[in-house]
Structure 1
Amino acid sequence: MAAQFDIKSYPGNIINGKFVSTQATRHSIDPATGEALYEVPVATKHALDAAVGHAREAFKTWSKTSFDERAKLVLRWADAIEANKDELGKLLTMEQGKPIDLANTEVGLTVQWLRTFATLELKDEVLDDNEERTIYLTRVPIGVCGAIVPWNWPVLLGLGKVGPALLTGNTLIMKPSPFTPYCDLKLGELAMGIFPPGVFQVLSGGDDLGPWMTEHPGIDMITFTGSIETGKRVAASCAKTLKRYVLELGGNDAAIVCEDVDISKCLPKITMMAFLNSGQICMCAKRIYVHEKIYDEFRDAMVEFTKNHVKTGGGFEPGVVVGPVQNDMQFKFVKDMYADIDKCGWTAALQGKARGDSKGYFIEPAIIDNPPDDSRIVVEEPFGPIVPLLKWSDEDEVIDRANGLKTGLGASVWAKDLERAERIARRLSAGSVWVNSHFDVAPNVPFGGHKESGSGVEWGIEGMKKFTNTTSLWVWKKVFA
């Protein structure tokens, strides 16, 4: 029988397999109502030191356990999460704001991700083998890892770090976002009775906890998802102790729509991939380049589809696609972007606006009609439900425009002519490129960015490797001693 938990109870941080209470507590805000949620612990530097010490001690044994044993425990954890999926989904909607169907999808994907990770064993490679010697490339765990988790997908992106770290023999301390600490603490609670003490710990804290982790000499690696600006600070901090790091940072994904598409077939997916999770996904379609021959028809159809099928509201309301923006800081940023519609003289094909009838952070979708390429809405990642449509006519030119920013997380090409679409796709500088789709991810497929969108990859065998160091092992068959 999987462990059950009280959705409202947060006795403390999870350190060495126990709840450890803190003197200070804090709470987050339900973005749909503006009301306070439950109190959670605020970790001190002393608590981090204790967690690191326990993680280093646990690493001595955990790193020597077999992959099969680690996988068995990860699968037990996946089962416990699945048994509590309904409560976790509700909690995720409360703290993050996303529609309940999307929250349930995130929890379900997390279970799928963990079960797939448990099949991805890193095995020795034989580099050379002859009568005199065998040379192996073997991979060993790095040590104690710190996972700094974002607020937009706190469950999937959180355990997308934890699973590979534990399966490769590392111990890990997870820091949830201060905006969305609740599900991650509950996931740690479910893990308490499964993993040995010190193997997986969860510390809820404020904005100072992240820098403490990146600077801590007892943490050997940081895996971080967040903004480009913060990612640069993480990299600089890790450099002080030569920590390993993986950074999954912001994107500004281009979608290139060719003139031969069937608009009625591709437009629903493109529109949903622009506004899903209120645009708060690093791999949303954020710049949509539409061929001039079909531009007007595509624009008008997208406006009509959005009006009829992209409902804004609270996450528990039926049929909602665009929930609230997650927090006040992001709400103000997106509102400021919307204010530029009039200030900069952009043409709004669909005039989105902040809703004034609620205490929550609600903003209705906006579609900007062919703004200049140097506009803020094109150059910056809004991380909200606002998207520009841009005309193109020349293939080389649109590729240059799509590649013209410092970001390179994802991109897509839409065309009936698959040979042409793949030719364009292969010229796009992004970590993930899709033909006739957008934002497809899988646990066995590497995920990461080019340029300022990140360093390293997560997921898949390549992602598992990022949690290891390599050792070249030379075994001489002749005895020289």
Structure 2
Amino acid sequence: MSSISFKDNFTHIIGGQKVSSALTRDVINPATEEVVASVPVATKEQLDAAIDAAATAFPAWAATPLEQRQSLVEQVGILLNADANQFAEILVKEGGKTKSLADLEVGGTAAWMLAAKAQFLSDEIIIDTPDRRVVSHYVPLGVCAALTPWNFPLTLLIWKVVPALVTGNCLIVKPSPYAPLAAMKFVELAQRVLPPGVLSVLSGDDDLGPWISTHPRIARISLTGSLGAGRAIMKAGSATLKRLTLELSGNDPAIVLDDVDPKVIAPQIFWNALLNSGQICVALKRIYIHDKIYDAVRDELVAFAKTIRVGNGMDPETALGPVQNKDQFTKAKTFLEDCKRNGHTIALGGTVDESQKGYFIPVTIIDNPPDNSKVVREEPFAPILPLMRWSDEDDVIARANDSEYGLGATVWGNDLTRAQSIARRLEAGTVWINEAHQFHWDQPFGGFKLSGLGVEHSKYGLSSWTNIQTITLKKSKT
């Protein structure tokens, strides 16, 4: 792994220039609780400066031919690949990821950018007769903002950067204050290719999000974050009728049919539920296992989980790292405390080693808690997994749908006709069958109910970064 200096090396990027601030905040390594780096805290004046730079850059960028915009985005992806080891190291140190997962995130981010030529919107000819021609086309919105979370700082950033830029917008990025480093270095890297002002980044505190949400010169916000953050942005942005895409919380159910092999299914459930220590919006979070195989699947899951090493991601033997920050660590412990207080059966884990440095939650499997329990109703966002029994298909579908969230869901079974029938009845934006966490730039992704507003990816996600303008031409002379 390459070496990178974390001292005095992270700045805002405004108008293509590195800019600092008088006030700074520390970024903590969740595996060691040590300071990784300090980052500047943006002022309101610096937000105004970033907006000015984006507004100045916008006319020329919007007028740049699509193919050239796509090519420039691809070039940034090439640069990212060249610095992949450095970016992976940043992700490990600021996010607590394992090196293998960090490598996957960097590689996937670069691949998404290298596919920029596949992401475009074509004019739609509505009418073309001897008398009239009507064409709808897509006009970029202007200055936009991306608010990104701490669990996948590059993946969830690039889901916004690519569509924003290829559709001709200029973008201001606000990364999570818990994990801003990779995003800041990515935007700095992009300045080698992009015109000044097209892509900026501001590191901030709790004030920056509200300033962005209420700023009259920001046309659109794309957020990946919590339900609370989404509600706050929607309320604050209402005064200026901001365009919004909100990808919010989830509590994704998994339904396991009775025709699976417990030994085969257990590792798949484990990794799709607990990869990144369960800190994935669409991780499997409620596992409904058919009663006929429940005991066998539970026992295989416990046995498999015991083989998994939890520790510092810098150790190549580590398979799962810590949760990412102290607030999330504290929240996760409330789930363990609630399970113990209410007498839920804990098949594995459940006790935090308070003498250990780092925000480590042990892999915890809860054996058939009631449907109204905290661990079932709420999202732990930690390696805590409830398993529930089911025997009636209609009943388990109703239980799976009994949530205010509807981001993702999965069905696991060898009877594909039955699995597809169940999938169509689940209230979720994406339902995977015999897989999970599969994404593509041509595949719409968004949530039902309180899991979100709008979609990302595909022509639908791209169009959300634009106004649709219809031009009608009457061909007869006047």
TM range (shorter): over 0.9
User: Is 2:276 the counterpart of 1:277?
Assistant: yes
Aligned partner of residue 321 in structure 1, secondary structure? coil
Aligned partner of residue 434 in structure 1, secondary structure? strand
Shift of 1:265: 1.8
Superposed, 1:119-198 pairs within 5 Å as: 119-198=118-197
8 Å Cα contact 1:366/1:385 also seen in 2? yes
| Residue 63 (structure 2) aligns with | 64
Shift of 1:443: 2.5
User: Is 2:362 the counterpart of 1:364?
Assistant: yes
Aligned partner of residue 312 in structure 1, secondary structure? coil
Between the aligned partners of 1:7 and 1:68, the Cα distance in structure 2 is 36
User: Is 2:430 the counterpart of 1:403?
Assistant: no
| Residue 226 (structure 1) aligns with | 225
8 Å Cα contact 2:265/2:297 also seen in 1? no
Letter in 2 for 1:284: A
Aligned partner of residue 439 in structure 2, secondary structure? coil
Counting matched residue pairs gives 476
Letter in 1 for 2:218: I
Aligned partner of residue 51 in structure 2, secondary structure? helix
Aligned partner of residue 139 in structure 1, secondary structure? strand
Aligned partner of residue 285 in structure 1, secondary structure? coil
RMSD: 1.3
| Residue 428 (structure 1) aligns with | 426
| Residue 467 (structure 1) aligns with | 465
8 Å Cα contact 2:10/2:181 also seen in 1? no
Aligned partner of residue 285 in structure 2, secondary structure? strand
Q: Deviations over 1:333-372 (max 9, x none)?
A: 0011111121011111112322334221011111111111
Shift of 1:10: 2.5
Letter in 1 for 2:195: P
Between the aligned partners of 1:353 and 1:35, the Cα distance in structure 2 is 23
Superposed, 1:264-413 pairs within 5 Å as: 264-308=263-307, 310-413=308-411
Q: Which range moves more in the overlay, 121-130 or 372-381?
A: 121-130
Letter in 2 for 1:116: A
TM-score, L = length of structure 1? 0.97
User: Is 2:49 the counterpart of 1:41?
Assistant: no
Aligned partner of residue 312 in structure 2, secondary structure? coil
Between the aligned partners of 2:252 and 2:437, the Cα distance in structure 1 is 10
Taking structure 1 as reference, are residues 74 and 9 closer, same or farther at Cα in structure 2, changes over 3 Å only?
farther
Between the aligned partners of 2:427 and 2:110, the Cα distance in structure 1 is 31
Between the aligned partners of 2:337 and 2:88, the Cα distance in structure 1 is 34
| Residue 96 (structure 1) aligns with | 95
| Residue 204 (structure 1) aligns with | 203
| Residue 32 (structure 1) aligns with | 31
Q: Deviations over 1:302-347 (max 9, x none)?
A: 1111112x22111112232220110000000001111112101111
Letter in 1 for 2:472: W
Between the aligned partners of 1:334 and 1:231, the Cα distance in structure 2 is 21
8 Å Cα contact 1:114/1:160 also seen in 2? no
Aligned partner of residue 433 in structure 1, secondary structure? strand
Between the aligned partners of 1:363 and 1:238, the Cα distance in structure 2 is 37
8 Å Cα contact 1:75/1:115 also seen in 2? yes
Between the aligned partners of 1:79 and 1:7, the Cα distance in structure 2 is 23
User: Is 2:255 the counterpart of 1:256?
Assistant: yes
8 Å Cα contact 1:106/1:153 also seen in 2? yes
Taking structure 1 as reference, are residues 290 and 11 closer, same or farther at Cα in structure 2, changes over 3 Å only?
closer
Shift of 1:461: 2.2
8 Å Cα contact 2:258/2:293 also seen in 1? yes
Aligned partner of residue 250 in structure 2, secondary structure? coil
Letter in 1 for 2:449: K
| Residue 245 (structure 1) aligns with | 244
8 Å Cα contact 2:42/2:204 also seen in 1? yes
Between the aligned partners of 1:104 and 1:443, the Cα distance in structure 2 is 20
8 Å Cα contact 1:370/1:390 also seen in 2? yes
8 Å Cα contact 2:251/2:407 also seen in 1? yes
8 Å Cα contact 1:260/1:416 also seen in 2? yes
Letter in 2 for 1:466: S
8 Å Cα contact 1:353/1:365 also seen in 2? no
8 Å Cα contact 1:295/1:391 also seen in 2? yes
8 Å Cα contact 2:74/2:115 also seen in 1? no
Q: Deviations over 1:227-259 (max 9, x none)?
A: 111111111111111000100001100000000
Between the aligned partners of 2:202 and 2:281, the Cα distance in structure 1 is 25
8 Å Cα contact 1:446/1:463 also seen in 2? yes
8 Å Cα contact 2:10/2:185 also seen in 1? no
Between the aligned partners of 1:180 and 1:205, the Cα distance in structure 2 is 11
Letter in 2 for 1:22: S
Between the aligned partners of 2:4 and 2:37, the Cα distance in structure 1 is 14
Between the aligned partners of 1:8 and 1:95, the Cα distance in structure 2 is 14
Aligned partner of residue 140 in structure 1, secondary structure? strand
8 Å Cα contact 1:117/1:444 also seen in 2? no
Q: Which range moves more in the overlay, 457-466 or 29-38?
A: 457-466
| Residue 436 (structure 2) aligns with | 438
Aligned partner of residue 319 in structure 2, secondary structure? strand
Shift of 1:7: 4.9
Shift of 1:9: 4.1
Letter in 2 for 1:386: I
Q: Deviations over 1:105-147 (max 9, x none)?
A: 0000001111223321111011111111111111111111110
% same residue = 47
Q: Which range moves more in the overlay, 418-427 or 128-137?
A: 128-137
Q: Deviations over 1:442-467 (max 9, x none)?
A: 23211111110000111222211110
8 Å Cα contact 1:92/1:98 also seen in 2? yes
Shift of 1:160: 1.2
Between the aligned partners of 1:288 and 1:226, the Cα distance in structure 2 is 23
| Residue 458 (structure 1) aligns with | 456
Shift of 1:11: 5.4
